[in-house]
Structure 1
Amino acid sequence: MKLLFQKYKVLIVLALGITIVFFGFKYFSKKKPEKKITEENKNVFTVPEDVIRRHPLTYVGLKEVSQFEELALPGRITYDPESMAKVGSQVEARIKKVLVKEGDRVSQGSPLAILSSIQLGEVEAAYVKARASLDALKMQADRAKELFEMKVTSAKEYEFATMQYKTAKTEVETTRIKLDNYGLTPSEIEGIERGIYVSSNLILRSPINGEVTERKAILGQQVTRNEELFTIANLSHLWVLLDVYEKDLGGVREGAQATIYPLGDEHSSVQILGKVGYVGTVLDNVKRTAKLRIMVSNKGNKLKPGQTVTAKVAGLVVSTGGGKRKMIPVEAVHEIEGKSFVFVPHGEGSFEAVNVVVGDTIEDDVIILGGLPDGAEVVSKGSFVLKSEFMKF
């Protein structure tokens, strides 16, 4: 009987062992796939509800647009009006001497030509005479004031002397303004006042630093008032003018980057970058185009006023008729450890950081080359908050 009991005891222990092994195997076999799922979703994270409430999120889908390429347009190089000057005589005169030629570099105040003007000589003589008269009348006015205060002369005599002095002073000031308008420098006018500079000669001077790009002055030439004799320009900054059709204007913005290169040679090594400074608001009634002005820095003088060039401007594009491109807003893409990520919602405050391949940026959108399936939604506005939460994991 005792032996039979021991046999049953052994059987019970074996049964318990087999049961423990069986259920243990089932338990660990179930846990293994769960571990695998966790590894596959390591980029999935949860954001607290209060964070989402404080920072509302906007969801956007992939936007498909047609394939485009930048539109190349012919343009013309012209002066920047803020960096150029037209120089001419302010009085009728004859050119006695020309001091510069085209291509010469000049500084502000540099003499360009010497002119002889009878009219200027007359104004100079009138200024000298007016100055002398002013000095005499000032003495008379001062003397009349003293006598009036001593009750030697009448108020009428004192007022008459004072009026004569004020009239002479006005004449001197008016004549000086004429000399200044004719182009005489303050030192030259002071010389006339001291009686050491009385001449009918007029020196034309450059009003800016730059280069003589045009000379019309000829020795012995008789010139009229405001006749243009020289063009001085600072060629370090120029404009490129383009005619843009009405239908293409919508994609251009001030500040957009532009590339300038020789006419028709897009692959030339001579390429200059510029920026759109102005988008015309008035259309040509016939051509239905508006002016587009590009500002360029002309280091090395590679560009010449009057030159025809080709320009490509960001936003000026034309459809190629090819396939579609997928795009999302730039603010939806974030760089993390050298890779580009977007955040895809999984519901109930859960999000996944998805690695994507990006292409060019066009205005406020970026091209997605891979990583997102069709129909996927990503977080746009507020995605910077998700980036902060993701970096905590």
Structure 2
Amino acid sequence: MAATQQSSSAPLRPRALLWVALAAVFTAVAGGIWAVGTHNAKADADTQPVSIAGKVQTDVVRVAPDQAAALDVGTSQEHQFENLRRTIGIIDFNQDRTTRVHSAQQGRIAQMLVKAGDDVKAGQTLYTVAVPERAQAASTLISSAATLRSANETLRRASALAQENSIPQKELQQAQTDQQSAQAAYDAARQGLRLFDLADADIARIERERQVDKEVAVKSPIAGRVTARAAQPGLLVQPGSDPAPVTVSDLRTLWMVANVPESEFSYYRVGQPVQVRVQAWPDKVFAGKVSYVGDSIDADSRRFVVRAEVADPRRELRPQMTADFQFTVAAPQSSVAVPAEAVVREGNGADVVWIAEGSDERGPRFTRRKVTRGQTTSGLVQITEGLVGSERIARHNALFLSSLYETEAQ
């Protein structure tokens, strides 16, 4: 029996030893894997960078030391800002120096002596109009002049005879009456011709040469340029009827006309300087002065007219050009100014700048501050509230700081 038990347990020992060996191998492998994993995790933790840039606390952000140079930290500055108001308007003819030249009599145009673009002088004939009444008036003058000469001669002879008592006194009186009537008719004929804008020299020429001319010369009352011609020979014209056959304008000055909101009425007054820019000459400024501020407000648009006279000696402007106008409404104002890149307009409409507040152990810090923006001139923004001239700010790339503020720093 004992021999039987001994023989049955003998084969179990190799199996037990095998299981023990396998367990040892598994334990070693598992330990190795755990050790390798722990080592790799530690290595990854040692090589992972630490985040130092971003939001540190409310309104404070930190940047990496190598990022500070791009922000151009420096103090704000004082700058003289012009007190200006800007608006959009148009260029127009100076209506005070523009005339529509109508004919004073009805008739048909006989000759057109100018064309659009011609420069004319005051008193120069622009066109002539055939007026039948003119011929009749000239004939009346010639006839009345002849009658007056005859009456004067008759009176002279009658006066001489009356002195010798060779004729009755009644004949002398009749001769005097006839002479007076002839003189009145002659004077009326001359006055009738003056209605056709004829000078005394022209009337004397008609009387002397006994020539009947039915064409009336229409002359320019001012010196300037023919800016419109709306007639041809043969056209029937009437006094005051539109369009005028010829329009003459003095182009040495033009009008600037702008419609300004009524809320800005207190800023404008006659005599203010104005600077004009047009798209055709983007780098050129035309100078002028306000000549009229509207006497009423338009009921629909709630705007009023501001008009300025703009000098244009070289005739580079054209009426109906769209123009940008700058009005100087007050003396220049000295204010804190920062570069345009230093001001950030946030989503809620607030304007902010970033103030340099020194550094901590991880990098420079900047504090966010709200400001009130004024004018912008030559790349500089006027700050009317929230900043003094001696504070150090991020002068450039302030938008980067605002974006970085959304990231939490470690």
TM-score band w.r.t. shorter chain: 0.5 to 0.7
After TM superposition, give the deviation of residue 301 of structure 1 in Å.
0.6
Gaps of 5+ in 1: 1-66, 318-322, 327-366, 372-393
Residue of structure 2 in register with 1:54 after alignment: none
CA-based RMSD: 3.7
One of 80, 94, 99 as aligned partner of 2:94: 80
Alpha-carbon distance in structure 2 between the residues aligned to 1:143 and 1:245: 83
SS at match of 1:102: coil
Whether contact under 8 Å (2:110, 2:130) holds in the other structure is yes
Residue of structure 2 in register with 1:344 after alignment: none
Whether contact under 8 Å (1:128, 1:195) holds in the other structure is no
Aligned residue runs from structure 1 range 225-244, under 5 A: 225-227=239-241, 228-244=244-260
Matched, 1:261 2:277: yes
For 1:103-127, what per-residue CA distance to the aligned partner results, in whole angstroms no more than 9, with x for missing partners? 1112223232233222211111112
Matched, 1:124 2:138: yes
Whether contact under 8 Å (1:94, 1:117) holds in the other structure is yes
Gaps of 5+ in 2: 1-80, 337-383, 390-410
Alpha-carbon distance in structure 2 between the residues aligned to 1:278 and 1:150: 77
After TM superposition, give the deviation of residue 165 of structure 1 in Å.
4.2
Residue of structure 1 in register with 2:300 after alignment: 286
For 1:56-81, what per-residue CA distance to the aligned partner results, in whole angstroms no more than 9, with x for missing partners? xxxxxxxxxxx996332222323324
Whether contact under 8 Å (2:92, 2:320) holds in the other structure is yes
After TM superposition, give the deviation of residue 155 of structure 1 in Å.
8.2
After TM superposition, give the deviation of residue 145 of structure 1 in Å.
6.2
One-letter code aligned to 2:284: V
After TM superposition, give the deviation of residue 144 of structure 1 in Å.
6.1
After TM superposition, give the deviation of residue 197 of structure 1 in Å.
3.4
CA 1:88/1:141 → structure 2, altered by over 3 Å: closer, same or farther?
farther
Structure with greater Cα Rg? 2
Residue of structure 2 in register with 1:249 after alignment: 265
Whether contact under 8 Å (1:213, 1:231) holds in the other structure is yes
One-letter code aligned to 2:299: N
Aligned residue runs from structure 1 range 287-326, under 5 A: 287-315=301-329
Whether contact under 8 Å (1:91, 1:226) holds in the other structure is no
Structure-2-length-normalised TM-score: 0.53
Aligned residue runs from structure 1 range 82-97, under 5 A: 82-97=96-111
Matched, 1:207 2:218: no
Alpha-carbon distance in structure 2 between the residues aligned to 1:170 and 1:306: 55
Alpha-carbon distance in structure 2 between the residues aligned to 1:313 and 1:149: 85
CA 1:274/1:133 → structure 2, altered by over 3 Å: closer, same or farther?
same
Residue of structure 2 in register with 1:179 after alignment: 193
68-77 vs 111-120, which moves further: 68-77
CA 1:157/1:103 → structure 2, altered by over 3 Å: closer, same or farther?
same
Alpha-carbon distance in structure 1 between the residues aligned to 2:91 and 2:180: 54
One of 120, 123, 128 as aligned partner of 1:114: 128
Alpha-carbon distance in structure 1 between the residues aligned to 2:133 and 2:144: 16
Residue of structure 1 in register with 2:112 after alignment: 98
After TM superposition, give the deviation of residue 181 of structure 1 in Å.
3.2
One-letter code aligned to 1:234: D
Whether contact under 8 Å (1:73, 1:312) holds in the other structure is yes
Percent identity between the aligned chains? 24
After TM superposition, give the deviation of residue 229 of structure 1 in Å.
0.8
Aligned length: 256
